[in-house]
Amino acid sequence: MTRKWLYGVTLTLVLTALWALLSGYGLKQPLLSLGVFSIVVTVWMTIRMGLLDGESTPYLRLRYLAYWGWLAREIVKANIAVLRIVLAPVIEIKPVVTRTPVTLTDDVARATLANSYTLTPGTVTMEIEEGGFILHGLDESFCGQEGFRTFERKVKAATGERGA
Amino acid sequence: MDWMSVLQFAVHLVSAALMLTGAGIVLAGAVGVIRLPDFYTRMHAAGMTDTLGAELIILGLILQAGFTLVSVKLALLGLIIFLTSPTATHAVANAAYRSGLKPLLRRWRSDENREDAA
């Protein structure tokens, strides 16, 4: 029950900040009352639809920011690797489909990991399964299992991995 | 020339460099979509490059806008693209995989086998 209250208050604060930043009007009637109205309706509907939990509350996780910093470097590296293949005079690739085991159980962590695989090492997540992901790799050189393990470890550290 | 205008010039230069790099990356991605052999490999070129390309362009625009509300909106836009772009790529790949499209799984060179490169 207390957690629910915490989520509700956080969601209200985030929505208020978002509204203030996006409108940029400051304290002017009647726009302010319309803003308050829309925030109250949004929070009320979130509660009514039973969506109010840790997943729908976009509070900032500082450990995520560190992970994103690391991910950004990996994205740049992966883009250079892919562009080098694509812009070479002769493209020579051996595409592979591979399965990598995933031990994460938290939904947010699994989604983060799947998206990270899609963004980075020349692979795209094709299918999510209970205990693993099926990945399509542009070239077999992208599909070393050690690389996948590094990602899983980083995501585990970033999310704190509850319940596993 | 005082320090302020030198700084302003530097910011403009960095911003232009970022946007040009972003545009170049997106263009290279488009070239990749044309050159690669099948659906899944083309998706790599499209999905991977347009995330970084769009982010670089947005970063350049943020430098142009400076400390304004426009920058905040651009930053939010960048965050949304960062989260949704890989999800969209995955959704397309997943749809193709589930509907049974077979990926090309042998070694492929762009200077031979012209006919099955459709």
The ipTM is 0.73
Q: Which region, left, alpha or beta, applies to residue B107 given φ > 0 means left and ψ of -120 to 50 means alpha?
A: beta
Please calculate the CA angle B51-A138-B98 and round it to the nearest 5 degrees: 85
How does residue A1 score in pLDDT terms, banded at 50, 70 and 90? low
A141 touches chain B (CB under 8 A): no
Residues of chain A with Cβ-Cβ distance to B28 below 8 Å are 83, 86-87
pLDDT of residue A161: 55
DSSP line for A85-154: HHHSSS-EE--EEEEEE-----HHHHHHHHHHHHHSSSEEEEEE-SSEEEEEESSGGG--HHHHHHHHHH
Which chain A residue lies closest to B106 (C-alpha atoms)?
A94
Q: How far is A94 from chain B (nearest CA, A)?
A: 4
Distances in Å between the Cα of A159 and the Cα atoms of A21, A102, A151 are: 28, 15, 12
Could you give the CA distance from residue A132 to residue B114 in angstroms, rounded to a whole number? 36
Q: What confidence tens digit (pLDDT) does each residue in A98-138 have?
A: 787 787 777 777 777 888 888 776 778 878 877 778 878 77
Give residue for tokens 């509850």: A162
Question: Could you tell me the residue ranges of all domains in chain B?
Answer: 7-99
Residues of chain A with Cβ-Cβ distance to B73 below 8 Å are 21-22
User: In terms of Cα–Cα distance, which of A134, A133, A137 is closest to A109?
Assistant: A133
pLDDT of residue B1: 67
Query: Is 50 exceeded by the pLDDT of residue A163?
Result: no
Check the CA dihedral A23-A26-A32-A35 and report its sign.
Answer: positive
Q: How far is A125 from chain B (nearest CA, A)?
A: 6
CB contact under 8 A, A115 and B83: yes
Q: Which of A68, A115, A136 sits opposite B103 (nearest CB)?
A: A136
Query: Is 70 exceeded by the pLDDT of residue A59?
Result: no
Question: Could you tell me the residue ranges of all domains in chain A?
Answer: 2-48, 62-159
pLDDT of residue B20: 92
Query: Is 50 exceeded by the pLDDT of residue B118?
Result: no
Could you give the CA distance from residue B32 to residue B13 in angstroms, rounded to a whole number? 28
Q: How far is A85 from chain B (nearest CA, A)?
A: 9
Q: What mean pLDDT value characterizes chain A?
A: 76
Mean pLDDT of the A75-96 span: 80
Q: Which residue type, as a one-letter code, is found at position A33?
A: S
Q: Tally Cβ neighbours within 10 Å of residue B41.
A: 25
Q: What confidence tens digit (pLDDT) does each residue in B3-41 have?
A: 888 888 888 899 999 999 999 988 988 888 888 788 888
Check the CA dihedral B53-B59-B62-B64 and report its sign.
Answer: negative
